[in-house]
Structure 1
């Protein structure tokens, strides 16, 4: 799926008409229509999309699905701590912060 198809799908989740989004972005409808038809997007437009749809993964939005993308399990990168470990870590950080503040 191409960017413009994904964008169209994304917009439909929140807006009934493209003109509604164009108004929200304070942009000309014809410019938005050009983006929807494959014209290269501007960074300004992409920034607006990011702010309007913060839940969207930019990798998904910007990559063509035909590209070879490594699919990794994101859980493998997370350090899972239990509650006691989290509390210990916070206590150590607080002690360190207090000592740094005392030096000032």
Structure 2
């Protein structure tokens, strides 16, 4: 299952229409539709998804199911919660930005 398929599945657990989530996120429906249909997502959007769907496992959402999947699902449990993962990613991105030449 692709990221886009998982995202659609996740959204359907709370919203019957994509436009309802667009309103909730205060974003353009067209932009949300592009994310759901395969456009690269932003960290801001991913943060909103995690806050709106705290029950979703970020590892599951982002993992490519075409890759080798281990038989023991316990091995996929995150040591960090979703918010901690986002904070870690943001910190790493900030470090990379600081290393870029001006």
Equivalent in the alignment of 1:67: 67
SS at match of 2:8: helix
How many residue pairs get matched?
Answer: 75
Gaps of 5+ in 2: 76-102
RMSD: 1.6
TM-score (norm 2): 0.68
In 2, Cα distance between equivalents of 1:29 and 1:66: 29
SS at match of 1:40: coil
Equivalent in the alignment of 1:14: 14
In 2, Cα distance between equivalents of 1:68 and 1:49: 26
In 1, Cα distance between equivalents of 2:51 and 2:62: 15
In 2, Cα distance between equivalents of 1:26 and 1:73: 35
Please tell me whether residue 56 in structure 1 is matched to residue 65 in structure 2: no
SS at match of 2:45: helix
TM-score (norm 1): 0.67
Gaps of 5+ in 1: 76-104
Please tell me whether Structure 1 or Structure 2 has the larger radius of gyration of its CA atoms: 1
